[in-house]
Every structure is written in C-alpha cells, then in structure tokens.
Amino acid sequence: MTSADTYNLNNGLKIPALGLGTFTVTDEKLLETAIDTALEVGYRHIDTAYIYRNEHIIGKTLKKWFDSGKLKRDQVFVTTKLSSDGVHPERLENQLKESLKNLQLEYVDLYLIHFPIGTKPRAPGDTATDIIAEPTDHISIWKIMEKQVEDGRTKSIGVSNFNEKQIENILKNAKIKPACNQVEVHVYLPQNSLVKFCQDNGIVVIAYSPLGNPGINEFRAKLGRPPQSLPDMLNDTLIKQIAEKHKKSAAQVMLKFLLQRKIAVIPKSITPSRIKENFDLFNFSLDDSDLKLLDSLKVGEKARVCNFSNLHGFKNHPEWPFPSEE
C-alpha cells in the first residue's frame, strides 16, 4: 500500500483504507496465522473489539512483530471497541484499560463505542436473552471517551452502528468530534444517506461485513442460534460479470466499490489466500458504468446481516439505531 491508500481523519491522523477484521476468530493459531499473513502482505490496520474475546491473541502477535523489529508500533493502526456493558460512566475507562492490557499496548489508534445501547454488566456464559439494555446517555459517555484521548489511551475516538441523529447529537456537544463511524456497508446495503452525512461532517466511514459476512451462520451455530438468511453477493451474476471484465474476484469488486466511495473496509478472513486476495485492490479501478450497475443492486435493510434485534430490549430501546427500511 502507498500513502494514497489511507484516508485522513479529522484529527490529522490517517487510517489505512484496508484493514483486517477479526470478528468471531478466537482460535489462537488461526488468528495468529491470519495476522502474520496480513502484516507480511502489507495490511497495516487490525480491527478488534472487547466483545470479540481475541484482543489477547492480537496483542501477543503484534508484540512478536514489534519485538522482532519488523514493524514499529506507529506503523500499525489498531482499532478496538467499547462493548455495550461498558457504555456506562463508571465502566468505560476500566474496560479500555483492560483492552490495552490484553493488546499489550500503551494506546490504540481508534476507540469506538461499539453500539449505541448500553447494557447491564454480563456474567460469564450469559446468552443474548440475559443481556438487559439500560438507559443510555451518549453525551456523558462521549465526555469520558474524550478523556481517554486526553489521557493518551487512544489517539482517536469514534462510534459504530450509530445513525445520523445520534451522531448529530454528539457533534453538537463534542469537544473532540468522532473520527469514524463503523457500520455494515456493502453492495446490497450501501447506506448512501448515512455515508454522505458522515463524510459531509468529516467522519470516515469504516465498512464491516463488506462481503455480507458469509461465515456468520457458523458463528451463530456455536452460540446455539438458528441460521439466518444471508445475501449471497459473492454469487451475484452482475458482480461476477464485472469481476470477469477486470479479471478479479467478486470479493475484490465489492471491496473496490466501497474504496471508490472513500469508505475504509475491514474484511474478515482467516484463510491466507483470501487475505492476500483481499489486499490486491490497488491495481485496478471500476469505471462509471461498473459503479452504476453495482449501485443498482441495492436492496436496503432486508440485506442487513448484523441487526442485533435478538438482544433483549434492544429493538424497543430509544437509541435503537436502525430504520425499519432504507
């Protein structure tokens, strides 16, 4: 990657346009191999979260790279996130400190509020039905997020899964503006209005599940949850035709579509060949006809993979962030 393959944050820092997502990966060997492969190829952004329960594996792997001298700390952009049970004035800072301990880092480059709804503390083994939503005051939480920047625990702060109204509320009261909003964005769920709002306000959009998260049902099975219907974009005829035209894969076309919208992407993979393939995005461009065709594929809310509606009390919460339809 070159310096052109980064986006400018509103605090003067840069975020790599492409990162490695790590959601659902808790196998130490698989994740270590994935990170090793990604860093060797050229990825310089690793995305995790407290709730993923894999920060310690990432920390161990990064320390190996830093200790070897292959990379310096300031060459790797690390994102982690505050879980819903940390969205509380008395719990936020302690959770970030725990994340830093797990990651073996003095600071992270970006710290996000993972979801706009706070919950009561969870006990080990709690299921989705055990998660209880609490009243959530974004302004008081944001002030504590700002303190984390001031105290040097994170260089940037932002949000995830927030809608326009929620972000606007923070912007009106913020001393430090959100640098990013990480949301589900892909060809079938382009989120045009939200993306435009963020970009107009100097907030970089980071797309999670940019390929529609085809492996999420395996994760759901581990939790004892039934499979859900998933958008099969990888086999979409039109996307495959555009991929063939550019001699690229369907996944590469979908990721490039987002990059050309100035959206950062964090595709998750533990397969070395796919990690390498997902990085090979910077030697081709989609033309205007490609972009127009891809934009015509939008489905809207029906194509949302991560809707969190199974969590107790979330969908009826005042801070529920998703529309009933796009």
pLDDT at 173 over 90: yes
Tokens representing residue 320 in the block: 């529920």
Q: How far apart are the first and last CA of the chain?
A: 34
Give yes or no: 7 in active site. Answer: no
- Examine residue 191 and state whether it is found in any structural domain, yes or no: yes
Q: How confident is the model at residue 138 (pLDDT cuts 50, 70, 90)?
A: very high
pLDDT higher at 60 or 323? 60
At 247-290, the pLDDT tens digits run: 999 999 999 999 999 999 999 999 999 999 999 999 999 999 99
Distances (CA, A) of 175 to 10, 98, 152, 179, 326: 13, 25, 16, 12, 31
Q: Is the dihedral of CA 83, 158, 57, 27 positive or negative?
A: positive
pLDDT of res. 313? 84
The boundaries of the domain holding residue 23 are 3-303
- Give the predicted TM-score (pTM) of the model: 0.94
Helices then strands, each counted (H, E), the chain: 11, 10
Q: Where are the beta strands (DSSP E) in the chain?
A: 6-8, 14-16, 20-21, 45-47, 77-82, 110-113, 157-160, 180-184, 204-208, 264-265
Which of these is catalytic: 7, 52, 111, 208? 52
Decide: 15 and 204 in contact? Cβ < 8 Å. Answer: yes
How many domains is the chain partitioned into structurally? 1
Once rounded to an integer, what is the mean pLDDT over residues 10-15?
A: 97
The verdict on residue 320 lying in a domain is no
Distance between CA atoms of residues 291 and 256, nearest Å: 10
Per the domain annotation, does 198 fall within a domain?
yes
In this structure, is residue 298 part of a structural domain? yes
**319 in any annotated domain:** no
Mean pLDDT of the chain: 92
Q: How much is the pLDDT for 225? A: 60
